[in-house]
């Protein structure tokens, strides 16, 4: 497993490095081929707003989907991404050994360690006598680190076709798993005004930067105990003797619960609507809540019980915590599939040049994931399981 993680992490698979993603995907395909039917799925484009306020489409890599016994009455969905946050020119491109149990490198825990854990858990399942009791679908997507803009529809399909989800994002160094997550939305506001000479005809102009500044203040004031709005980028204007006709701001929203999300979305629409109503000013809102909040519901609680039981059998203790970060588990939960999304290895400092992986956690987490799959195969996972946290035959 350590060898796989090193080999995979030494390939740069930044979300926009399509050649690197294809190279990694090829290696992953080789590993998965003996286990099920492998499909390569193009995932479309990432849309963004450029500095002229126009919509740009950037191509993305391909997802891998592997399926086995899709007609089984009980089906598990397993998933982790192959992309990382590190562009090749960033210089953080190779794995180094910090000590016998610690590797430092791009994606070692987020999420190439998770790719190894998922693979070995499924291999073990396929060797066991429980395999015939359970079908599975594995998805390895190429765009999670940019919010899964292309692979999003694959999660809706997965939620409709499976009963339970296991995702392999890294856990904390102490092994705690994530119980619930807040939601995240990313937006761009494009403000069009009217340009004019600032000295000769200022009355003919409509200043897009003034209009945007007011909008930024109003958006920022929507921040509360359970909602955060962060305006992270502004663009616009040119020579200072010209009334600017274009301004753009980009912001991220975090909402703790589905009710918070609904409330803040309505408030944002209202702010934009009012800004758009000003004389000579036109305001457009782009983007949305690509990752809805992931609350701890009955389904997730039922799965927690199964994981705790499996961990206990292995002599591991499990702690749960809330995270303000988001994952594909958010979208999966919103589409109705109960899931736990932090079954990957122990590691830390992810999204930084100090990202590390604790090597002994690879086998530990693969055993845990296998035990969870076995328990689901053995005892089933139904609405009743979800409600009471006990396992009941399907």
> Smallest distance from the beta carbon of 362 to Zn ion, in angstroms?
16
Question: By CB under 5 A, what part of segment 97-116 binds Zn ion?
Answer: 110-111
Q: How far apart are CA 302 and CA 296, in angstroms?
A: 10
Q: Which is nearer to Zn ion, 169 or 355 (CB)?
A: 169
Q: Contact at 8 Å (CB) between 328 and 144?
A: yes
> Smallest distance from the beta carbon of 23 to Zn ion, in angstroms?
19
Q: How far apart are CA 348 and CA 115, in angstroms?
A: 16
Binding mask 144-183 for Zn ion (x = CB under 5 A): -------------------------x--------------
Backbone angles phi and psi of 62, in degrees to 5: -110, 145
Q: Where are the alpha helices (DSSP H) in the chain?
A: 2-9, 18-32, 113-127, 152-161, 208-220, 258-276, 298-313, 328-334, 360-379, 383-388
Q: Contact at 8 Å (CB) between 148 and 328?
A: yes
Q: Which is nearer to Zn ion, 143 or 245 (CB)?
A: 143
Q: Which is nearer to Zn ion, 115 or 373 (CB)?
A: 115
Q: Which is nearer to Zn ion, 111 or 267 (CB)?
A: 111
> Smallest distance from the beta carbon of 143 to Zn ion, in angstroms?
11
State the residue for tokens 């999204």: 351
Q: Which is nearer to Zn ion, 111 or 253 (CB)?
A: 111
Do strands 242-243 and 347-348 pair parallel, antiparallel, or not at all (unpaired)? unpaired
Q: What is the DSSP letter of 2?
A: H
Q: Which is nearer to Zn ion, 111 or 243 (CB)?
A: 111
**CA dist 112 to 119, 171, 360, Å?**
11, 13, 15
Q: Contact at 8 Å (CB) between 65 and 155?
A: no
Q: How far apart are CA 6 and CA 369, in angstroms?
A: 21
Which structure tokens are listed for 105? 């490198």
> Smallest distance from the beta carbon of 261 to Zn ion, in angstroms?
22
Nearest residue to the partner Zn ion, using Cβ: 110
> Smallest distance from the beta carbon of 305 to Zn ion, in angstroms?
25
Q: Where are the alpha helices (DSSP H) in 99-245?
A: 113-127, 152-161, 208-220
Residue 328 interacts with Zn ion (CB under 5 A)?
A: no
Q: How far apart are CA 293 and CA 307, in angstroms?
A: 22
The β-bridge partners of 55 are: 49
Q: Which is nearer to Zn ion, 175 or 345 (CB)?
A: 345
> Smallest distance from the beta carbon of 85 to Zn ion, in angstroms?
9
Q: Which is nearer to Zn ion, 137 or 169 (CB)?
A: 169
> Smallest distance from the beta carbon of 149 to Zn ion, in angstroms?
15
Please work out the total of residues on this chain that contact Zn ion, with binding judged by CB under 5 A.
3
The β-bridge partners of 233 are: 250
Q: Which is nearer to Zn ion, 169 or 364 (CB)?
A: 169
Q: How far apart are CA 352 and CA 85, in angstroms?
A: 9
> Smallest distance from the beta carbon of 347 to Zn ion, in angstroms?
11
> Smallest distance from the beta carbon of 179 to Zn ion, in angstroms?
17
> Smallest distance from the beta carbon of 299 to Zn ion, in angstroms?
22
Task: Tally the residues of the chain.
Answer: 394
Q: Which is nearer to Zn ion, 115 or 209 (CB)?
A: 115
**CA dist 132 to 43, 114, 248, 318, 369, Å?**
31, 24, 55, 29, 17
Order the strands of the 37-42 sheet from edge to edge: 37-42, 62-68, 135-141, 75-81, 164-167, 339-340
Q: Could you list the residues that contact Zn ion (CB under 5 A)?
A: 110-111, 169
């Amino acid at each position: 497993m350590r060898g796989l993680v090193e080999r995979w992490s030494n390939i740069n698979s930044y979300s926009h490095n399509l050649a690197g993603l294809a190279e990694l995907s090829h290696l992953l395909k080789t590993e998965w081929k003996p286990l099920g039917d492998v499909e390569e799925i193009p995932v479309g484009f990432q849309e963004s707003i450029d500095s002229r306020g126009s919509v740009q489409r950037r191509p993305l890599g391909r997802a891998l989907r592997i399926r086995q016994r899709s007609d089984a009455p009980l089906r598990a969905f397993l998933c982790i991404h192959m992309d990382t946050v590190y562009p090749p020119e960033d210089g953080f491109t190779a794995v180094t050994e910090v000590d016998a149990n610690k590797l430092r490198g791009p994606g070692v825990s987020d999420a190439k360690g998770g790719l190894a854990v998922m693979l070995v858990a499924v291999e073990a399942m396929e060797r066991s006598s429980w395999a015939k009791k359970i079908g599975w679908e594995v998805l390895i997507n190429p765009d999670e680190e940019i919010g899964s803009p292309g692979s999003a529809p694959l999660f809706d399909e997965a939620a409709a076709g499976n009963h339970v989800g296991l995702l392999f994002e890294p856990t904390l160094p102490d092994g705690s798993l994530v119980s619930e997550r807040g939601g995240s939305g990313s937006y761009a506001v494009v403000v069009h005004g009217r340009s004019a000479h600032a000295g000769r005809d200022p009355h003919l102009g409509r200043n897009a930067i003034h209009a945007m500044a007011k909008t930024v203040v109003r958006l920022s004031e929507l921040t509360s105990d359970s909602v955060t709005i962060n305006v992270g980028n502004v663009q616009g204007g040119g020579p200072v003797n010209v009334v600017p006709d274009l301004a753009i701001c980009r912001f991220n929203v975090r909402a703790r619960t589905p009710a918070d999300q609904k409330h803040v979305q309505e408030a944002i629409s209202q702010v934009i609507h009012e800004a758009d109503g000003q004389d000579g000013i036109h305001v457009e809102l782009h983007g949305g809540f690509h990752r809805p909040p992931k609350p701890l519901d009955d389904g997730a609680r039922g799965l927690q019980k199964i994981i705790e039981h499996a961990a206990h059998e292995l002599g591991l203790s499990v702690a749960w915590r809330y995270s303000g970060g988001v994952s594909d588990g958010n979208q999966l939960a919103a589409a109705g599939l109960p899931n736990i999304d932090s079954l990957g290895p122990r590691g830390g400092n992810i999204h930084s040049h100090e990202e590390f992986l604790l090597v002994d956690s690879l086998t530990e987490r693969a055993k845990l994931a296998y035990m969870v799959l076995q328990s689901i195969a053995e005892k089933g996972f139904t609405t009743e399981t979800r409600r009471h946290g006990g396992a009941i035959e399907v």
